[in-house]
Amino acid sequence: MTKAVFWSKNGTVCGFRIEGHSTFDEADDEGRAVCAAVSSAAYMAANTITEVIGDSADTKVSDGDMYVNVISPSKSTQLVLEGLKLHLSELSKQYSKRLEIISEV
Count of residues in the chain: 105
- 38-94: pLDDT as tens digits: 999 999 999 999 999 999 999 999 988 999 999 999 999 999 999 999 999 999 999
The domain ranges of the chain are 2-104
Mean pLDDT value of segment 11-30: 93
Of the two residues 24 and 50, the one the predictor is more confident about is: 50
pLDDT, position 94 = 96
d(CA 17, CA 65) in angstroms, rounded, equals 7
Helices and strands, counts by H and E, the chain: 2, 5
Q: Is the pLDDT of residue 26 over 90?
A: no
The pLDDT, as a whole number, for residue 64 is 87
What mean pLDDT is predicted for residues 2-25? 94
Q: Are 29 and 57 in contact (CB under 8 A)?
A: no
* CATH topology (fold) of 2-104: Alpha-Beta Plaits (3.30.70)
pLDDT at 105 over 80: no
Q: Which residues contact 56 (CB under 8 A, 6 or more apart)?
A: 50, 70, 71, 72
